[in-house]
Amino acid sequence: MLTAAVPPDPGTLFSNVDFTGSGAVVVAVSGGGDSLALLFLLHDFLRRLPASPSLLAVTIDHGLRAESSKEAEAVGHLAAAHAIPHRILQWKGTKPATGISAAAREARLALLAEAAREAGAALIFTGHTGDDQAETLAMRRERGEGRGSAGIAPATLYDNEIWFVRPLLGTRREALRACLRERGISWFEDPTNQDLRFERARMRSKLDDSSIVQLVTDAREAAAARKHAGKKAAGLIAEAAEKIAPGLLRLRLSAFRGAEAGIYAFRILLAAAGGTPFLPDEARSSSLLARALEQDFRANISRAVVQSRQGQLYLHRELRNLPEMPAAGRFTWDGRYRMDASTAVQGLAIAPFGRKEAADADLSAFPAPAGLTRAALACEPAVWKGRECLGLAAASREISARPVVGPWAHLLPSFDLAPARATIGLLGGDPLPPAPWHGHKEI
């Protein structure tokens, strides 16, 4: 599959993708060789299907190079010549002075997701290749990133609703260009790909064919190990964790003693309780769990309060740096709740319930220590009108408040689906959509 000289077969690339029920699919097309090859390979495949979804090519014009608008228009002309609908979306507004690559990536994801929603598509295909996978893993190794050794995921769920699918991770960049040459199609070369001021370009210049093959193999093995660990963690979360009050989790400590994925599950639950986008430090989490197995104590880590009592471990958000946000549109609150206030009354805000309101709350429905329950309630989102609290957002008629899992609230790699599902089930959030593969299983 990683032979650089052999053009890929569309049937092999896409036969495992589940297109059932998809009225449309989106392909991100920059005009480079990878994404153009993806567009035409997918176009060929879909034409073979008896009930094919419509195909929409989308080009994001970041406006970072003088040539970008002309290149986007050229992609449109090429798509039109093959009767493929095409849209150009522009990244508008002021560009940041630093972190431009990350900002451009986030803008690209958001614009592609917007196009997919408007087209009624739940799948967006991107042209990440085996070369991209190798470069990504090599860069992460230089930075010492542990969990990042799994590399780029075959698919990533965006905001719990749209899958970004990457079918070319086992395909070499040169094989895709060979595919385009056979068709007489030219492509644009982004000059930044050769600009050694950029980390990826520097790494690309260091890798040869054998190292690329080895790195892709290593990424597959690491991804398999990560999925295995995730399934073990999911089982432990389902067995030993429960939500006993709004914002309050209780863990049965005996189940964590000697468990294969105990530390991983604990880190996931800490991140869920604190609403953090990353798992907390493994060494400190391991130390806290070991301490909890031996004695009662209270500690703070990654915005979460950890309290051990008589064989039970309680987790909740700490009462600091909680946001106050206007209740307008759709937004994520504190990394823990996805809010929809599109029909809310003007003048409302989402802010923490607070100590005073929690002190007056009726706790009779919650089988938990009163002090812990009030501490957790104080950190929950509530609807406020000026200085008047109208109640917890979860009970509001005007606003929808659904729990999300901090590390995966925005982007969920497919190899983390099992622990994400277990955790969102624990929190009472909306079920995650199935993986975009036939039988919901990756190749």
CA–CA separation, 367 and 31 (whole Å): 58
Look up tokens 């309680």; give the residue: 314
On whether the CB atoms of residues 419 and 230 are closer than 8 A, the answer is yes
CA–CA separation, 229 and 126 (whole Å): 27
Cα 149 from chain centroid (whole Å): 16
Classify residue 285: in a domain, yes or no.
no
Please choose, from the candidates 127, 131, 135, the residue with its C-alpha nearest in 3D space to the C-alpha of residue 188. Answer: 127
On whether the CB atoms of residues 280 and 271 are closer than 8 A, the answer is yes
On whether the CB atoms of residues 443 and 14 are closer than 8 A, the answer is no
How many Cβ atoms are within 10 Å of 267's Cβ, its own excluded?
26
Q: How many residues belong to the chain? A: 443
On whether the CB atoms of residues 430 and 424 are closer than 8 A, the answer is yes
Classify residue 173: in a domain, yes or no.
yes
Say whether pLDDT at 440 is over 60.
no
Phi and psi angles of residue 58, each rounded to the nearest 5 degrees, phi first: -130, 125
Question: Which of 103-117, 135-149, 309-323 comes out lowest in average pLDDT?
Answer: 135-149
Classify residue 358: in a domain, yes or no.
no
Identify the CATH number of the domain in which residue 68 sits: 3.40.50.620
Question: Which of 126-130, 171-175, 195-199, 211-215 comes out lowest in average pLDDT?
Answer: 195-199
CA–CA separation, 279 and 158 (whole Å): 18
Structure tokens at 185: 């199609």
149 secondary structure, DSSP code? G
pLDDT digits (tens, 9 = 90+) for 59-91: 999 887 778 899 999 999 999 999 999 999 999
Classify residue 417: in a domain, yes or no.
no
Mean pLDDT is highest, among 5-9, 231-235, 290-294, for: 231-235
Classify residue 189: in a domain, yes or no.
yes
Classify residue 275: in a domain, yes or no.
no
Q: Domain range spanning residue 148?
A: 10-207
Axis crossing angle, helix 130-143 with helix 199-206, rounded to the nearest 10: 110
Query: For residues 108 and 68, which has the higher predicted lDDT (pLDDT)?
Result: 108
Look up tokens 């064919």; give the residue: 209
Say whether pLDDT at 441 is over 70.
no
pLDDT digits (tens, 9 = 90+) for 191-207: 767 766 777 778 888 88
Classify residue 57: in a domain, yes or no.
yes
Task: Outline where DSSP puts E strands in 170-309.
Answer: 241-245, 248-252, 297-301, 304-309
Starting at the edge strand that comes first in sequence, how are the strands of the sheet with 304-309 ordered?
241-245, 248-252, 312-317, 304-309, 297-301
Say whether pLDDT at 4 is over 70.
no
Total domains, the chain: 1
Classify residue 301: in a domain, yes or no.
no
- Stretch 330-355: mean pLDDT: 92
Question: How high is the mean pLDDT of the chain?
Answer: 92
398 secondary structure, DSSP code? S
Specify the pairing of strand 241-245 against strand 162-165.
Answer: unpaired
β-bridge partners, 420: none
Residue 443: the pLDDT is 47
Structure tokens at 144: 């010492």
Say whether pLDDT at 3 is over 90.
no
pLDDT digits (tens, 9 = 90+) for 350-378: 999 999 999 999 999 999 999 999 999 99
Task: Outline where DSSP puts E strands in 193-309.
Answer: 241-245, 248-252, 297-301, 304-309
